[in-house]
Structure 1
Amino acid sequence: MLGEKELLKLFPEYSDTIQPSGIDLRMDKIYRQVGSGSLIDNEKNLPEIEELESVDDIYTLEPKTAYSVTIEGKIEIPTGYTMLYLPRSTLLRSFISVHTAVGDPGFYGTLQFMIVNNGQYPYKIKKGERIAQAVVFPVEGSGKYNGSYQEK
C-alpha cells in the first residue's frame, strides 16, 4: 500500500485530501433509482436514475434506501497501480454504508458508488463531504483497463 509521499507524487491533484495511507474522496451528487435494470449474458442494462433534490447542497437519505453517488472530479489510475475504495468510519458509525468496487490500472473517469441508509431515521449529508478513501497498491504485470466505463 502506498503512503502519502508516494500518493502526492502520483496524484498531485488530490494534495488537499491525501491522508497517511489513502486519498479521501468527496461526494458530488446523489441519485435515486427510477427504473429497472438487468445484467444478462454480460449485457449491461443500467437502471434509470434521477438526481436527488438537495436544499443548499444538502441531501436527505431516507431510511432503508439505496442511492447511487458520484465522486467529485475524475480519477486517473496509473498503469501498474490499483485502488480499493473504503467507506469513511463516520458514515459507518451513522448506519450509512458505502459499497464500492476495485479501481483497475489505467481507469479514467467518474467514480460511482452505492450509498445506503441502513438506519431507522433520515440522514443528511452535504455535497463535498468525504465519504470514501482510496487506498492504492502497486500491481505487477498489470494490463490497462479498457472497459465500458472508461471515459478517456
Structure 2
Amino acid sequence: MAYNGKEMSNYIKGINESQIQPAGVDLRLDKVFKFIEEGYLGEGKRVLPNTEEIAPIDNLYDLSKGAYKIRFFDIVEIPKEAIGICFPRSSLLRMGANLSCALWDPGYSGRGEALLNVLNDKGIKIEKYARIAQIIFIKLKDIPDKLYNGIYNNENL
C-alpha cells in the first residue's frame, strides 16, 4: 500500500503545497556537483569519488551532456513502516535527462542525493529549487527488525 501525498507531507520538512501530489511529494533541487575522479566499490571497500560543486548563475544551472550528483533541498524522514522510492519528474525526462535514486530505507533521514544523467546533446537548464523528482512511500507488510543506521543517515543536515 502506498501513502498519498498529503500523508507523506508529514515526513518531509519545509515543503510547500505545490509539492504535494496525489501519490507522492515532489523534491526540489538544491545543489549540483560534477565528478572529478573515479570511484570504487568492492566487497568490504567503498571509495566515493570527490566532486566539485557547480555554482548556479542567477539561480540557473546550465548543464551539458554528462553525469552529475545532485542534492535535494527537502529533508526527508522515512517512517519506520515504509520505504521511499524516488522517480524523475516527467518534465525532466521530456527534456532528455534522467534521474536515478537508490531505495530509501525505513529510518533514513536527510537531504538525499541522486544521479542526474543529462542525455540531451544540447544540454539542459534547471533552476535551483526546481521540482526535479517525486518520492513515494510504500508501506511494508511488517515493521522491520531494525531501522536504517548506515553512513548516509542524517546526510547533508
| TM-score clears 0.5 | yes
Which residue of 143, 146, 151 corresponds with 2:149?
Answer: 146
Residues 4 and 21, structure 1, Cα contact 8 Å, conserved in 2: yes
2:112 aligns with: 111
Which residue of 15, 27, 30 corresponds with 1:28?
Answer: 30
Task: Name structure 1 gaps, 5 residues minimum.
Answer: none
Distance 2:58 2:115 in 1: 22
1:10 deviates by: 4.4
CA offset digits 1:114-138 (Å, max 9, x no partner) = 1011111021111000111001111
Q: Which amino acid aligns with 2:152?
A: Y
Q: TM-score, structure 1 length as denominator?
A: 0.92
With over 3 angstroms needed to count, the CA separation of the structure-2 counterparts of 1:111 and 1:11, relative to structure 1, is closer
2:91 aligns with: 90
Identity of aligned residues (%): 31
2:47 aligns with: 45
Distance 1:52 1:73 in 2: 19
Stretch moving more, 95-104 or 1-10: 1-10
Distance 1:144 1:13 in 2: 24
Q: Which amino acid aligns with 1:55?
A: I
Residues 8 and 15, structure 1, Cα contact 8 Å, conserved in 2: no
CA offset digits 1:19-49 (Å, max 9, x no partner) = 1100100000000001121112232110000
With over 3 angstroms needed to count, the CA separation of the structure-2 counterparts of 1:58 and 1:108, relative to structure 1, is same
Distance 1:12 1:67 in 2: 25
Q: TM-score, structure 2 length as denominator?
A: 0.89
Query: What's the C-alpha RMSD, in Å, of the aligned pairs?
Result: 1.6
Task: Name structure 2 gaps, 5 residues minimum.
Answer: none
